[in-house]
Amino acid sequence: MALKREIKGTVVKRAGEKTITVLVERKVIHPRYHKIVKRFKKYLVHDESNDVNVGDTVIAIECRPMSKTKTFRLKEITARGVGA
């Protein structure tokens, strides 16, 4: 069995029923300038209990595809944010 990927990020949007959008930030070294730059990616995450708010920091784990673009489910809420 393959290892499940885990992502950690901040909730930026509640996208419909039982779905949240998580913004994941990673830092990489620029190939030419050798400077650390930020790269961002958004993931759709399945939130079964529907209790996450915008601004929360969450950990999501990879799972079977829930829809065309949703392949992660919520594992835990690590920090509550000041949601909008």
- CATH number of domain containing 33: 2.40.50.140
Q: Hey, what are 52's tokens?
A: 């996450």
Residue 81 class from Cβ within 10 Å (0-12 exposed, 13-18 middle, 19+ buried)?
A: middle
DSSP, residue by residue, 37-60? EEEEEEEEEE-SS----TT-EEEE
26 falls in which pLDDT band (50, 70, 90)? very high
Query: Which residue range forms the structural domain that includes residue 43?
Result: 6-79
Domain count along the chain: 1
**Dihedral over alpha carbons 55, 23, 1, 46 (to 10 degrees):** 50
68 inside domain? yes
58 inside domain? yes
43 inside domain? yes
1 inside domain? no
59 inside domain? yes
Q: Hey, what are 39's tokens?
A: 């790269």
The mean pLDDT of 23-35, rounded to a whole number, is 97
84 inside domain? no
Condensed to tens digits (0 to 9), the pLDDT of residues 40-63 reads: 999 999 999 999 999 999 999 999
